[in-house]
């Protein structure tokens, strides 16, 4: 996806875009600026809870995003709530592995421990309650330092109502799981074939390893349990690829083209794979046919999970061509990928997926025989000859995934909404389509403003919350109103929709800083669920 700017046309659209932007920004940032925070440190977005009765899943009920550190620059967190459900919210029960209700006087309406004075800025109207941690209309009913109910009077209005308050402790730092998996993936380009005539590398492999614990204290299986998973795997999606390709999905005579992104391997596998190798979807390695275990050094009781890929496309410029691509792709064409370490959730064979965000983005312009490269995905010999190689474009070594959560919601309006285990994050791929508006330049904010719209392309209702990751965003361009980052890329929550019926659409506004006035390229990758 690319956006081109016309500053004359943009100037005409500025007023309308700014009005829309202001409305959306308030919905996504329910907190005022306090101390070191310009907005909420943590946002709880309540989604589908029916009519407020009975049990609903954590995936559909609430998403939690971590945005900024402590407002006191030490340990306290500013929390916002957005009610996108269809019922008023009178209370939420919070749980933590930290002493979040151990109030000690330095809440948002209290005294800064750094200056000995009230915070600057601080909410207008302080104080709102006896502890100094309350927001407007908020009271606390703690049952312990780590568990308690937050009450709202008046209730938070449905369909976009908001509230805010503060809690003790930093709720965006490492948990048990993050201390195990942060900086635990090593990635490299491996020279895999040297042309004996020229002595040059003919192509390269993208390789990686995940070591479950650098001190070898936890096996892969033990580390998975500590993170709330059944096991580990990789998930890879293609974010861009040319239409000239010999790769075919089983049952689909047309080449797979991105965008929109698609999982690699796709559902049903590629035609060049053997039948027993075609069922790894939605993972890169099949957890049910022994392929995953072959890549776990010494199995799940070992410490290292391997990854390797050497994609090729003979239909790229300079390649030998293929009967399935009578014309070659234009010069400079390539296929781009994003590869993440993921946790498998639940019991097989139909495991759920929780993306950790740890991984890398890269592209390949190797142009020899597709499917004839030596990888763990097939057992064909490596292709000699050809040109091109692999380039890494983005690396993210740190996860935003938390388990156990520093902050979790266990009840809404007195009804249980979470089981304490992580809910699967679902890559929607071809299930939704994305379209973008033009961009209007605002001389007031110095940002390029527009919208991204997602549409349900299936015959079934898709439950949210919906997250759009702006993969492969142009270098030097930043998303000003990002909800947070995931996998090294900014993402934004589509707060206007808790679910999408067949054919239904929802839009979210985007604001880009673009100091060099470059063409803004990106690949929207859409998920349902929470990044935790």
Residue 518 tokens, joined? 């470059």
For the record, the structure tokens of 164 come out as 């805010």
Element (H, E) at 44: strand 42-46
Mean of the per-residue pLDDT values of the chain: 83
| Predicted pLDDT at 25 | 31
Query: What pTM was computed for the model?
Result: 0.74
Residue 378 CA to residue 371 CA, distance in Å, equals 8
pLDDT at position 469: 93
Whether residue 1 is predicted with pLDDT greater than 80 in this model: the reply is no
pLDDT of residue 18: 25
Tallying the residues shown for the chain, one arrives at 532
d(CA 432, CA 429): 7
493 pLDDT band, cuts 50/70/90, is: confident
Would you say 363 and 311 are in contact if contact means Cβ atoms under 8 Å apart? Answer: no
Residue 69 has pLDDT above 70, yes or no: yes
What does the pLDDT look like over 72-123, one tens digit per residue?
A: 999 999 999 998 888 899 999 998 878 999 999 999 999 999 999 999 999 9
- pLDDT, residue 36, reads 93
Measure CA 92 to chain center: 25
372 CB burial (10 A radius; 0-12, 13-18, 19+)? middle
Q: What is residue 47's predicted lDDT score, i.e. its pLDDT?
A: 76
Residue 333 vs residue 379, higher pLDDT: 333
Instruction: Give the tens place of pLDDT for each residue, 317-349.
Output: 988 888 999 899 999 999 999 999 999 988 878
User: Which value, in Å, is the radius of gyration of the alpha carbons in the chain?
Assistant: 24
- The region of weakest confidence among 42-51, 279-288, 336-345 is 42-51
Tell me the pLDDT band of 495, cut-offs 50, 70 and 90.
confident
- What span, in angstroms and rounded, lies between the C-alpha atoms of 59 and 518? 37
- Among 135-139, 353-357, 367-371, 430-434, top mean pLDDT goes to 135-139
**Residues contacting residue 112 through CB under 8 Å, at least 6 positions apart:** 35, 72, 106, 118, 119
By three-state DSSP, how is residue 172 classified? coil
The domain segmentation of the chain, as residue ranges, is 2-175+402-528, 180-396
Asked if pLDDT for residue 383 goes beyond 70, the answer is: no
Per-position b or e across 377-391, b if 16+ CB within 10 A of its CB: beeeebbeebbbbbe
**Whole-angstrom distance, CA of residue 504 vs CA of residue 510:** 20
pLDDT of residue 232: 97
The pLDDT tens digits for 148-166 are 999 999 999 998 899 999 9
* Residue 292 reports pLDDT greater than 50: yes
Residue with tokens 């929607």: 428
When pLDDT is cut at 50, 70 and 90, the band that residue 26 belongs to is very low
- Other Cβ atoms less than 10 A from the Cβ of 74: the count is 15
Q: Output the six-digit token pair for 310.
A: 């050497």
Reply yes or no on whether the pLDDT at 48 is more than 90: no
Task: Enter the tokens of residue 425.
Answer: 């994050």
The Cα 193–Cα 443 span in angstroms is 53
> What tokens does 284 get?
């890169």
Widest pairwise Cα distance in the chain: 80
How far is 330 from 316, CA to CA, in rounded Å? 7
Beta-strand runs (E) in 310-418: 335-345, 352-364, 390-396, 408-412, 415-416
Residue with tokens 């965003």: 473
The enclosing H or E element of 295 equals helix 291-295
pLDDT band at 374 (very low <50, low <70, confident <90, very high): very low
Residue 12's contacts (CB-CB under 8 Å, 6 or more residues apart) are none
The pLDDT of residue 101: 96
């Amino acid at each position: 996806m690319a956006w081109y700017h016309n500053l004359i046309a943009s100037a005409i659209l500025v007023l309308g875009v700014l009005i829309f932007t202001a409305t959306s920004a308030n919905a996504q940032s329910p907190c005022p600026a306090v101390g070191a925070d310009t907005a909420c440190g943590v946002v709880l977005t309540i989604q589908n809870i029916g009519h407020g009765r009975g049990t609903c899943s954590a995936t559909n009920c609430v998403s939690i995003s971590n945005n900024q550190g402590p407002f006191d620059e030490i340990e306290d967190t500013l929390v916002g709530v957005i009610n996108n459900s269809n019922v008023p919210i009178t209370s939420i029960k919070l749980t933590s592995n930290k002493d979040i209700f151990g109030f000690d006087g330095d809440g948002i309406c209290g005294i800064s421990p750094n200056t000995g004075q009230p915070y600057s800025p601080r909410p207008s109207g302080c104080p709102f309650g006896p502890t100094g941690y309350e927001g407007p209309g908020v009271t606390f009913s703690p049952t312990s330092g780590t568990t308690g109910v937050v009450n709202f009077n008046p209730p938070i209005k449905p369909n976009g109502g908001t509230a805010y308050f503060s809690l003790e402790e930093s709720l965006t730092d490492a948990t048990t799981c993050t201390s195990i998996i942060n900086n635990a993936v090593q990635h490299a380009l491996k020279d895999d074939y040297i042309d004996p005539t020229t002595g040059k590398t003919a192509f390269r492999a993208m390789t990686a390893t995940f070591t479950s614990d650098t001190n070898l204290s936890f096996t892969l299986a033990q580390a998975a349990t500590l993170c709330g998973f059944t096991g580990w795997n990789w998930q890879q999606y293609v974010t861009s690829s040319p239409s000239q390709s010999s790769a075919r999905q089983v049952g689909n005579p047309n080449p797979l083209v991105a965008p929109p992104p698609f999982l690699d391997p796709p559902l049903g596998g590629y035609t060049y794979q053997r039948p027993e190798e075609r069922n790894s979807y939605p993972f890169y390695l099949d957890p049910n046919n022994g392929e995953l275990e072959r890549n776990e050094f010494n199995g799940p009781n070992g410490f290292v999970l391997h990854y390797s890929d050497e994609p090729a496309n003979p239909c790229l410029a300079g390649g030998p061509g293929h009967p399935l691509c009578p014309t070659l792709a234009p010069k400079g064409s390539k296929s781009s990928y994003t590869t993440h370490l993921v946790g498998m959730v639940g019991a097989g064979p139909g495991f759920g997926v929780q993306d950790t965000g740890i991984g890398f983005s890269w592209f390949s312009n190797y142009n020899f025989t597709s499917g004839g490269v030596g990888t763990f995905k097939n057992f064909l010999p490596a292709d000699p000859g050809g040109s091109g190689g692999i380039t890494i474009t983005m690396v993210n070594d740190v996860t935003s995934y938390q388990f156990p959560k520093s902050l979790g919601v266990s009840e809404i309006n007195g009804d249980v909404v979470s089981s304490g285990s992580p809910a699967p994050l679902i890559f929607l791929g071809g299930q939704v389509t994305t379209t973008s508006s033009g961009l209007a330049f605002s001389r007031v904010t110095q940002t390029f403003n527009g919208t991204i719209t997602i549409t349900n392309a299936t015959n079934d209702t898709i439950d949210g919350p919906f997250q759009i990751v702006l993969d492969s965003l142009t270098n030097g361009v930043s998303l000003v109103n990002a909800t947070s980052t995931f996998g090294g890329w900014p993402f934004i929550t589509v707060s206007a929709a808790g679910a999408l019926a067949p054919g239904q659409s929802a839009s979210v506004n985007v604001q880009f800083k673009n100091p060099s006035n470059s063409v803004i390229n990106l690949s929207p990758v859409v998920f349902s669920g929470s990044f935790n």
